[in-house]
Structure 1
Amino acid sequence: MKKIMLMAAIVLSALLSSLSAQILNPVRWEVSSEMTSPTEGVIRYSATIEPGWHLYGTTLPDGGPKATSVSYDRMEGVELVGELVPSQAPVEKIDMTFNLKLNWWEGDVVLSQKFRLKDGSKGYAVAGVITFQGCNDGSCIPPTREPFEVVSEGFAGETAAEVEPAQNNEVSVASSEASSSAVDWWKPVVFPDNGETTSQNIADSSWWYIFIWGFVGGLVALLTPCVWPMIPLTVSFFLKKNNNRAKSIRDALIYGGGIIVIYLGLGLAITMIFGASKLNDLATNAVFNLAFFLLLLVFAISFFGAFDIKLPSKWSNGVDSKAERTTGLISIFFMAFTLVLVSFSCTGPIIGTLLVEAASVGNIAGPAVGMGAFALALAIPFTLFAIFPSWLKEMPRSGGWLNSVKVVLGFLELALSLKFLSVADLAYGWGILDREVFVSLWVVIFILLGLYLLGKLQFSHDSPSDYVSIPRFFMALVSLSFAVYLVPGLWGAPLKSVSAFVPPLYTQDFNLYAGGDFKEFDDYDEGMRYAAENGRPVLIDFSGYGCVNCRKMEGAVFDTEVISGIIRDNFVLIKLMVDDKTDLATPVTVNENGKDVRLVTVGDKWSYLQRSKFAANSQPYYVMLDNDGNVIEQPYYYDENVEKFGEWLGRGIKNYSDGK
């Protein structure tokens, strides 16, 4: 049983293959040194690697993960001899994730670096950074930097902690101009206690959203050709197995409960494998979004009939045979597990999309609630038909309409995949999927979907049809109408109903829409200086390229004439993207909660600002400051109420004027 659960969890974890680090320290380092002779010695970098993880080697081809390396910021009294020498040779394999031949260590390893004392040296001090990256079968940690220092006994110089920051090759997080100013714009703030609050229980509302999303996903999964034919087969199994109707009803209820338990267990397994504290990285991680775009694209092509994606038949056959050989509760549970495995080719894309949405909750309840709701919707019909078998006569028979459902899902998966590609495109600044390109693709996709529903477009697996049914006609009407609704977006219309999916308006090359037209800064210190010089309060928008609720706020609130007018006439707007992957000109090391943290990208810098100054890390997050960097009103979270947001801005303007 444990093996089967593990296999199913691995299948789902493949959908999450580009997830950011979920184990905080899969690789731990200890650095030591010793003299091997009066003039020579060795520095040992000992890596302790968590089971299941591997550490990449010191030489890797371009285009792959980060190789392990050691750089030196300080070297006194010694000179290096030769290269790093590992205690064991790394394993060489073809990594299908990167499509490269890579090498790594799967167990603990020690890297040794020889050195010799310089003439006249009575001691030595060496300090630097170990850069490394590790992965397991389902996820990778980002390239990580581990500082180190070794000092010999009798060394007369200063330790690294006593060396001035400039000598240690470190810089301040704030710009040099801001640092030299008498105003410290980075200092932590204290929010005023004025009885007003703009916060809301986002977690509770998100859980309801995830529950509804999961339940709808389960209902959609029922209509796929992998699941629908299983209903009469499963019900017949229970009716034939038991002549006692009461016992049949009891078994059917247990079967439905088994489906829920299995999917709920898988949702919890995903959380346990990758960690609850960082599940919200799924929604903003650019690499993951790119990988998920490719997965959804493959599933869409499969739904169109190009090929079938199935789990190994021996899995489902093995579980099915166990169900036949066993009795009682175990037999019923294996029947439920057979359904889960057999239906994977149709439910996999739905479950994967659901888990991405559930991850945005950033709590262990997210995937559990989503998978539980999905299983509930899937289990209810099986249970009801088993209790009321006469309903089977009224159930539509399997046929070509099931394949049509699958093709429609293919179109929807294709449209949804572009959202994930857009996140990666925005984070890395590729500029390949600007707003008008995205909207154009959606217009074409939904026009083609409408034509397919009207029978004007057919795929190889479709059954011939002499007429268009009423349901297909109305679905085609909805699809074509939606395509027409999207057309004005090519010229900059806000498209508020889909603002969470389409790229932001600033990526539009040709924009006839005037809403949201105001100057904004993407650098905190630069924006604060401009505000101080012009005597204006500051509105900071902590956002992210992969933040769905941020796009909703921009389309529903910021792009309205009233809000854009207030901001344009009264504020200096600073928008900071916490998932911006642009490298900093000089990496920055900061001390956070007693631990040195290396900030490498622009997004790292703004994320640290939000955490250190405002003690917050969720997006969207809005805060108003005066020209000394002090808050003038409570922060504002996700709430699309335009009037409420306008009142919040008004209080900030008044408080800023009163404080002058």
Structure 2
Amino acid sequence: MSVMKRTIVFSIVLVCLVFTKNYAQLQENPVGWKTSIQQGKGDTLLVNLTATIKEGWHINSQFNAIQNGPLPTVFDFEKSEQYTVIGDVTEPKPLSRIEEAYNNQTLYYFEHEVRFIQKIIPKTNDSLAIKVAITYMSCSSTMCLPPETEEVALLYKPQHALTLADQTALSVKETNIGWIFLGGLLGGFLALLTPCVFSMIPLTVSYFTKNGGLKKAILYAVSIVVIYVTLGLTITLTLGPDALNALASNGIVNLIFFLIFLVFALSFLGAFEITLPSSWLNKSDKMADRGGFIGIFFMAFTLALVSFSCTGPIIGSLLVEAAINGSIAGPAAGMFGFALALSIPFMLFAAFPSMLKKLPKSGSWLGKVKVILGFLELALAMKFLSTFDLVYQLGFLKREVFIAVWIVIFTSFGFYMLGKLNFEDGESKSKTSISGFISSVVIFSFVVYLIPGLWGAPVKLASGFLPPSFYKEWNQNTPTANTSISTNTIPAEKHAQPCPQNLNCFHDYDEGVAYAKEMNKPILLDFTGWSCVNCRKMEDNVWSDPMVWGKLNNDYVLISLYVDDTTPLPDDEQYASETTGKKIKTIGNKWSDFQTTKFRTNSQPYYVAVNTKGEMLHEPVAYEPNVKTYAAFLQEGVEKFK
């Protein structure tokens, strides 16, 4: 039978299926497609076309040869002078089964997820626009849906052709992981100065004096790294990237983080000690006594357990920060840095016991390190409590109140460094060290810097930690950076909620677009969040600049969409996302889904210049702390609009 006849016959069958009960129950396409481009060998590029298939469904192989049955998957790349298609689309080995309904022919198919790859060679050094039509059928054990054709457009930019926005987005991702690693490294070095860890050094040296050697010392260091990185990976794999990203915008989770930091701070300040059950330590000690690889590994495990009362708060803080970063590699990178810093000194002391003689004797200075960490933990705890307050708009920790609490914390910190506050009986009450005096000068200088913030000063050094500038007890009547008269004044009833830097803005997309059409101005979509640290940094340090402020207020209609707004949507406005399938119940869910569906990203801040039809004017940007670069981004949008 010809292909045309086969298609007609099968289409008739499908028309009948439309009227069956099972087919009527279908609500959405069970197959989703993701695309990407990566560098292959030489000049070759690999176009990845990945199908994600719901449980109970499958799509067919390109080489499915069942006559009068389900059609194969077909990829049709549009001909272009920009590139050459090399060979056929490749696919992994498909599943197969005998289909009795089709005269025992063999069906070749894929379930769950499958990636197809097409090789191409660029003919130009400029950006490539690649278009491909994917025709496929989604089938279950009882039926097949009509053939679907998904038209996909991909844009590939060589490294030299990347715009500043692209480079910024890449550098932010790399920088985030880098900072998490450095944060872990710093945490590991701080942990070395705590009493629990410091006291383990002589015990370690004693153990390796009997079971010594550089090889075993290296093995000991590797064991420490493996133990801590495994902890980070376990958290990563358990929560997953989406859940990690959601932590930053979940009010209840941030409240839990606040309580965790508060407990850690009180522990460091000496209110109580966090310890593990003694039975765990005893079992670990017995295993360490066995010697060999197992003994060395459990010696490292014993270090992790014994030092938990001091490293626990540091590790907990590190994992919280890494989780909030939203990157799946964050916790692993942070724990690797922490373990590396912790393991290297132990490895050196284990390999060269004579180095122990050069160490300072343990004493009250170790307790002082713990108290210092306690003050810092207490200050950081307020950030999470502030996020909880912001997400639910409770209003109990507005900007002035937050600053006042920080002033009290850091003033107490300064007095402690001067020796005027004491948390342990053994601490000196008479003499102040030079280092203590210098530290107190730095701390009190920061306190003096914070004080004007109570009356509206920007306090840029603390941006990202403080609540937004508009979330305060009293409001200024004049803009922060009013260097030009606004020609974009929005009627008060249009923006009941306050806007960053006293700018005019909307918080509803449709209202903002309608106003932009009326004013004939481009739109800046500001995807932001109450809990977004980098959003606050952009608002405080970049939007406050007169040049940027003037462009935002006069040349654009600003629409700030908070993806973590917990305000419930009316019942008749709630819906299921076409992208994720999740129920959209809140205003924040709505804007997050809008960003994900239209712009294929869910990170904040994210700035998109669009026209009154919602079409992008040029490449969006994410976090961009350079004022001139961000101003140029805004200017380009205005010129494109004109």
TM-score past 0.5 threshold = yes
Residue 445 (1) aligns with residue 409 (2): yes
SS at match of 2:527: strand
Instruction: Return the offset for 1:457.
Output: 0.8
Corresponding residue of 1:514 = 480
Match of 2:201 among 184, 207, 231: 231
SS at match of 2:428: coil
What letter is aligned with 1:514?
T
Deviations 1:54-94 (A, max 9, x none): xxxxxxxxxxxxxxxxxxxxxxxxxxxxxxxxxxxxxxxxx
Corresponding residue of 1:484 = 448
**CA–CA distance in structure 2, aligned partners of residues 364 and 609 of structure 1:** 23
Instruction: Return the offset for 1:329.
Output: 1.1
Instruction: Return the offset for 1:591.
Output: 4.9
Match of 1:381 among 330, 345, 354: 345
CA 1:388/1:484 → structure 2, altered by over 3 Å: closer, same or farther? Answer: farther
SS at match of 1:622: strand
SS at match of 2:316: helix
Say if 1:190 and 1:631, in contact at 8 Å, map to a contact too: no
Say if 1:428 and 1:581, in contact at 8 Å, map to a contact too: yes
Match of 1:401 among 365, 387, 391: 365
Residue 307 (1) aligns with residue 272 (2): yes
**CA–CA distance in structure 2, aligned partners of residues 256 and 535 of structure 1:** 64
**CA–CA distance in structure 1, aligned partners of residues 367 and 586 of structure 2:** 46
SS at match of 1:539: strand
**CA–CA distance in structure 2, aligned partners of residues 591 and 443 of structure 1:** 46
Match of 2:612 among 627, 631, 637: 627
Say if 1:587 and 1:600, in contact at 8 Å, map to a contact too: no
Residue 357 (1) aligns with residue 321 (2): yes
Instruction: Return the offset for 1:386.
Output: 2.5
Residue 297 (1) aligns with residue 262 (2): yes
Mapping 1:69-468, distance limit 5 Å: 196-199=163-166, 200-201=169-170, 202-239=172-209, 241-242=210-211, 247-324=212-289, 326-468=290-432
Corresponding residue of 1:600 = 585
**CA–CA distance in structure 2, aligned partners of residues 490 and 573 of structure 1:** 28
SS at match of 2:357: helix
Instruction: Return the offset for 1:190.
Output: 11
Instruction: Return the offset for 1:606.
Output: 0.6
Q: Which runs of 5+ in 2 are unaligned?
A: 1-20, 22-151, 482-500
Structure 1 length-normalised TM: 0.67
Corresponding residue of 2:25 = none
SS at match of 2:622: coil
CA 1:277/1:553 → structure 2, altered by over 3 Å: closer, same or farther? Answer: same
Say if 1:579 and 1:604, in contact at 8 Å, map to a contact too: yes
Corresponding residue of 2:83 = none
Corresponding residue of 1:500 = 464
SS at match of 1:227: helix
SS at match of 1:299: helix
Structure 2 length-normalised TM: 0.69
SS at match of 1:608: helix
**CA–CA distance in structure 2, aligned partners of residues 479 and 347 of structure 1:** 25
Larger RCO: 1 or 2 (CA < 8 Å, sep 6+): 1
Instruction: Return the offset for 1:636.
Output: 0.8
- The total of aligned residue pairs comes to 465
What letter is aligned with 1:229?
S
What letter is aligned with 1:210?
I
Corresponding residue of 2:146 = none
Deviations 1:619-648 (A, max 9, x none): 110001111221112111112011000000
Say if 2:375 and 2:413, in contact at 8 Å, map to a contact too: yes
Say if 1:543 and 1:550, in contact at 8 Å, map to a contact too: yes
What letter is aligned with 1:495?
V
What letter is aligned with 2:394?
W
SS at match of 2:270: coil
Say if 1:581 and 1:601, in contact at 8 Å, map to a contact too: yes
What letter is aligned with 2:165?
T
Say if 1:517 and 1:564, in contact at 8 Å, map to a contact too: no
Instruction: Return the offset for 1:550.
Output: 1.3
SS at match of 1:635: coil
CA 1:196/1:256 → structure 2, altered by over 3 Å: closer, same or farther? Answer: closer
CA 1:595/1:572 → structure 2, altered by over 3 Å: closer, same or farther? Answer: closer
**CA–CA distance in structure 1, aligned partners of residues 197 and 467 of structure 2:** 35
Deviations 1:419-456 (A, max 9, x none): 00111111000011111111111111111001011111
Say if 1:224 and 1:402, in contact at 8 Å, map to a contact too: yes
Q: Which runs of 5+ in 1 are unaligned?
A: 1-32, 34-187
**CA–CA distance in structure 2, aligned partners of residues 360 and 405 of structure 1:** 26
Query: Aligned-pair RMSD on alpha carbons?
Result: 2.3
Say if 2:596 and 2:602, in contact at 8 Å, map to a contact too: yes
Question: Which range is displaced more, 416-425 or 452-461?
Answer: 452-461
**CA–CA distance in structure 1, aligned partners of residues 529 and 504 of structure 2:** 18
**CA–CA distance in structure 2, aligned partners of residues 465 and 402 of structure 1:** 16
Question: Which range is displaced more, 428-437 or 486-495?
Answer: 486-495
What letter is aligned with 1:395?
L
Match of 1:568 among 543, 553, 556: 553
Say if 2:265 and 2:373, in contact at 8 Å, map to a contact too: yes
**CA–CA distance in structure 2, aligned partners of residues 385 and 482 of structure 1:** 38
Instruction: Return the offset for 1:281.
Output: 1.6
CA 1:566/1:235 → structure 2, altered by over 3 Å: closer, same or farther? Answer: same
What letter is aligned with 1:642?
V
Deviations 1:109-154 (A, max 9, x none): xxxxxxxxxxxxxxxxxxxxxxxxxxxxxxxxxxxxxxxxxxxxxx
CA 1:192/1:584 → structure 2, altered by over 3 Å: closer, same or farther? Answer: farther
**CA–CA distance in structure 2, aligned partners of residues 612 and 252 of structure 1:** 52
What letter is aligned with 2:518?
E
Instruction: Return the offset for 1:464.
Output: 2.8
Instruction: Return the offset for 1:348.
Output: 1.4
Say if 2:470 and 2:502, in contact at 8 Å, map to a contact too: no
Residue 532 (1) aligns with residue 517 (2): yes
Instruction: Return the offset for 1:587.
Output: 5.5
SS at match of 2:326: coil
Say if 2:208 and 2:351, in contact at 8 Å, map to a contact too: no
SS at match of 1:284: coil
Say if 2:398 and 2:472, in contact at 8 Å, map to a contact too: yes
Instruction: Return the offset for 1:465.
Output: 4.4
Question: Which range is displaced more, 483-492 or 385-394?
Answer: 385-394
Instruction: Return the offset for 1:594.
Output: 7.1
CA 1:361/1:511 → structure 2, altered by over 3 Å: closer, same or farther? Answer: same
**CA–CA distance in structure 2, aligned partners of residues 582 and 432 of structure 1:** 18
What letter is aligned with 1:234?
T
CA 1:370/1:604 → structure 2, altered by over 3 Å: closer, same or farther? Answer: same
Instruction: Return the offset for 1:220.
Output: 1.0
Match of 1:611 among 596, 599, 602: 596
Question: Which range is displaced more, 444-453 or 485-494?
Answer: 485-494
Say if 1:543 and 1:575, in contact at 8 Å, map to a contact too: yes
